């Protein structure tokens, strides 16, 4: 089976991420690197 998952920064506003601070917390932790991390995550999730 082949499938693909794509993650957007707006997804951080939904469960379960919102319970842990959502997009604000990710920006607090990673700052300007947040976009690059999401891009890298998407590359890793592409199956």
pLDDT in tens, 1-47: 667 789 999 999 999 999 999 999 999 999 999 999 999 999 988 86
Distance CA 6, CA 18 (A): 18
CA atoms lying within 13 Å on the CB side of residue 19: 2
Contact 38, 7 (CB under 8 A): yes
pLDDT at res. 23: 96
The tokens for 12 are: 């951080």
Dist CA 14 CA 16 (whole Å): 6
Predicted confidence at residue 20, as pLDDT, reads: 96
- Say if CB 38 and CB 4 are below 8 A apart: no
């Amino acid at each position: 089976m082949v499938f693909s998952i794509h993650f957007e920064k707006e997804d951080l506003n939904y469960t379960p991420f919102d319970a842990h601070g959502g997009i604000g917390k990710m920006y607090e932790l990673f700052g300007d690197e947040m976009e690059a991390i999401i891009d890298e995550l998407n590359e890793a999730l592409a199956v």
